[in-house]
Copies of this chain bind each other. A is one copy, B any other.
Amino acid sequence: MQLKQIKDGFQIIHNEQVLLNHTPNNPAFFVGIGYEKIETYRGNFNIQDQLVERIPLTHSQVGDDRVLLSYQQNTAPLLTLIFIPSDNGNAIISCKSENPDLNRFWIRLSVVESEKVWGCGEQMSYFNLRGRHFPLWTSEPGVGRDKTTEMTFLSDKYNQAGGDYYNTNYPQPTFVSSLHYACHVNSSAYADFDFRNPAYHELQIWEIPETIEFFTAPSFLDLVEKLSLRFGRQPKLPEWIYSGIILGLKGGEENTFSRLENAVKNGISVSGLWCEDWAGIRETSFGKRLFWDWKWSKKRYPNLDKRIQSLKEQNIRFLAYVSPYLCEDGELFPIAKEKSLFALDNTGEVALVDFGEFNCGVLDFTNKAAREWFKQEIIQKNMLDLGVSGWMADFGEYLPTDNLLLANGINSTIMHNAWPPLWASVNAEAVAERGLSGEIMYFMRAGFTGTQKYCPMLWAGDQCVDFSRHDGLNTVICGALSSGILGNAYHHSDIGGYTSLFGNRRTKEVFERWVDMATFTPMMRTHEGNRPDENFQFDHDANTIAHLARMVKVYKHLTPYLKHLSNEAHTKGYPVQRALFLHFENDLNTYDIQDQYLYGSELLVAPVHEANADEWKVYLPANETWVYVWDKQEVQGGQYITVPAPIGKPPLFYRKNSQWTELFNGIIEIQ
């Protein structure tokens, strides 16, 4: 990449491709001042900007490696850029301003008409981001996420929670362009990446970012490899994961263990038992909620310590649940308060966050003492010492933006997006200090830049228990693909979805279609959902139990292949679930596909995500012969084909000349 002076301006060029073009009439940089107004309701944010100034930096003074930018010739420079190319085709632009009032920044990158862009974290609605803008702010993902649906309307009306296509637990100011470059903005401030304009991408950041990083590579896979090196790679999957499904069960010892036994007895291979309510529950007007006081509830699980040991003997791990908050009425709260481990409000009191009829303190992870205490007392003593092998490390999106004092002195609006990886790092360190990285499996929905390094497994957050376009089964695929190209190798979801509201209930069909997809992800895990009693569960009928048992066998059968993918993830940063174009860049038809994926390089999966489907249309990438797993028929790529779509036989293809054909051919033998 190079910085090139042109008449009255400059360009940034890569392989004769102009990535950025700056002239007085079409400046690529703007700075300004704005005042945001952020309203928060239980993890949902209404963010408004009052923009006071937006100054086009029309005048540039270009030196060897730096550019001084100002508004017209005789005014003081407002921004200094330093261009730092590196030998590997990457480059960094460092940004500096002498004016501390400036808190808005815009950069425009040049666009080619046919260009696609992907990324921006874990995007649930749209994989190709062109034509839309994406506010980047970690939050609840929304319920319905589509203003034309009744679900979204009711969620907005009653819970301010309907959301929209861009809401996500895991945003990231990084995108990959089909022009074989990626761009990352090194800032945790609120950002809005706008890909609507036919002439430029405009990236807006609510501070002057320290640096903007560019990555280039000859292929998309190489680019993904570079990004995963930059953001960090996950350890290999723990061996115990491969032995079956993780069953999410709760409701106390009796209920949980009897249902587990029943599942095992019926032939379901179980690798883990995940009990959300290991620390107890509370009753609220919304129903049962977990008790956010992170230690074994002897009341709810009297023999949990012994149970965990006996499970281990059966080769079943125990998984728990934890979040970075402590409820005010728990036993741990006063201890943490006494030690001054919580973030404070501006009166010097512990800042309390409303989670719905209970308030919690926010452990201030910018305070070393708080990190150490949480790692030692909660994760290591209360969880690892109990024999826990994994957990849902929930939340991370709720950091308040006003009236919050953090130990590191940084404004909490700037820290809001940085919180998920900070929370992930507390988990990662606690595990690493015990030498258990790669052995313990915690999973998270919240994320941001750096999540890659600290989170061994993403979970897709809370889908509706349905096939809806913007909050149903298919969104999980989009989430896996978009997070995957930014270096998150492992992704999975609640089988059957989670959110059941306003009469929307999980059906047997939704559950079973979700099982069929989850079989081809790195980890299978069920969740009972927010209203277990009203929704279909894996053990509600014998037929579903049998179906699940068989699909778990398929998952287990693929262990050698999945281990290979896990190796690839560890050594090259390739995601397990891959966008088709990662392996078929010459087939432009693959660039917009977001409801199919390659499972590793060799298998193609096209999950059925509509109700009452008898058949399913699948695109097979060009220049490859594909074998349909269920009847071994060969099909030439480069076309759409339609296949039967019975439950238990999801549309699945492998490459004819794969090294793994024998393994794949074994799938149809599994009863």
Q: Which residue of B lies closest to A153 (CB)?
A: B153
In this complex, what residue of B is CB-closest to A58?
Answer: B53
A667 at the B interface (CB under 8 A): no
Which A residues, 21 to 35, have Cβ-Cβ distances below 8 Å to chain B?
30, 32
Q: How many residues of A contact B (CB 8 A)?
A: 21
Q: Closest Cβ of chain B: how far from A25's Cβ, in Å?
A: 10
- Interface flags for A151-190 (1: CB within 8 Å of B; 0: not) read 0010011000000000000000000000000000000000
When chains A and B are docked, how far (Å) is the Cα of A76 from the Cα of B71? 11
Q: With a CB–CB cut-off of 8 A, which chain B residues contact A76?
A: 72
Q: Is A542 an interface position by the 8 A CB rule?
A: no
Known A71-B71, A75-B71, A157-B148; contact A53-B51, beta-carbon cutoff 8 A: no
Question: How far apart sit A280 and B156, CA to CA, in the bound complex (Å)?
Answer: 44
Measured between beta carbons, the chain B residues less than 8 angstroms from A32 are 54
Contact mask for chain A residues 83-114; partner B; CB cutoff 8 A; 1 contact, 0 none = 00000000000000000000000000000000
Cα–Cα, bound, A71→B32 (Å): 13
A347 within 8 A of B: no
Note all chain B residues with C-beta closer than 8 A to A50. Answer: 197
Which residues of chain A from 8 to 51 have any CB-CB distance to chain B below 8 Å in the complex? Answer: 30, 32, 50-51
- The answer to the question of A304 belonging to the interface, with a C-beta cut-off of 8 Å to chain B, is no
Report how far A147 CA is from B56 CA in the complex, Å: 36
Query: In the complex, which residues 58-90 of chain A have their Cβ closer than 8 Å to any Cβ of chain B?
Result: 71-72, 74-76
The yes or no answer to A546 lying at the interface (CB within 8 A) is: no
Candidates B74, B147, B156; contact of A75 at CB < 8 Å:
B74
Contact of A56 among B53, B56, B156, B157 (CB under 8 A): B53
Task: Give the distance in Å from the alpha carbon of A147 to the alpha carbon of B76 in the complex.
Answer: 46
Q: Does A55 contact B (CB under 8 A)?
A: yes
Q: What per-residue 1/0 map shows which CB atoms of A459-486 lie under 8 Å from chain B?
A: 0000000000000000000000000000
Q: A670 contacts the other chain (Cβ, under 8 Å)?
A: no
Nearest CB of B to A367, in Å: 35
Q: How far is the CA of A576 from the CA of B30 in the complex (A)?
A: 52
What B residues does A52 contact at CB under 8 A? 30, 54, 56
Return A669 CB to nearest CB of chain B, in Å: 49
Name the distance in Å between A65's Cβ and chain B's nearest Cβ.
28
The answer for the CA separation of A30 and B52 in the assembled complex, in Å, is 9
Shortest distance from the beta carbon of A68 to any chain B beta carbon, whole Å: 16
Considering the chains assembled together, what is the distance between the CA atoms of A74 and B75 in angstroms? 7
Please give me the residue from chain B that is nearest to A34 by CB atom. Answer: B54
> Which A483-521 residues sit within 8 Å CB-CB of chain B?
none
Neighbouring B residues of A150 by C-beta, 8 Å: 153
Chain B proximity mask over A580-624: 1 for CB below 8 Å, otherwise 0: 000000000000000000000000000000000000000000000
A145 to chain B, nearest CB (A): 15
Q: Which residues of B contact A74 (CB under 8 A)?
A: 74-75
The winner among A50, A53, A72, A157 for most chain B CB atoms within 10 A is A53
Q: A134 → chain B, closest Cβ, in Å?
A: 16
Which residue of B30, B51, B72, B156 contacts A147 across the interface (Cβ within 8 Å)? B156
Nearest residue, chain B, Cβ from A51: B54
Report the minimal beta-carbon distance from A149 to chain B, rounded to whole angstroms: 8
5 further A-B contacts with Cβ under 8 Å, apart from A32-B54, A53-B56, A54-B54, are A30-B52, A55-B55, A55-B71, A71-B71, A74-B75
27 A-B residue contacts at CB 8 Å? Answer: A30-B52, A30-B53, A32-B54, A50-B197, A51-B51, A51-B54, A52-B54, A52-B56, A53-B54, A53-B55, A53-B56, A54-B54, A55-B55, A55-B71, A71-B71, A71-B72, A71-B75, A72-B75, A72-B76, A74-B74, A74-B75, A75-B75, A147-B156, A148-B156, A148-B157, A150-B153, A153-B153
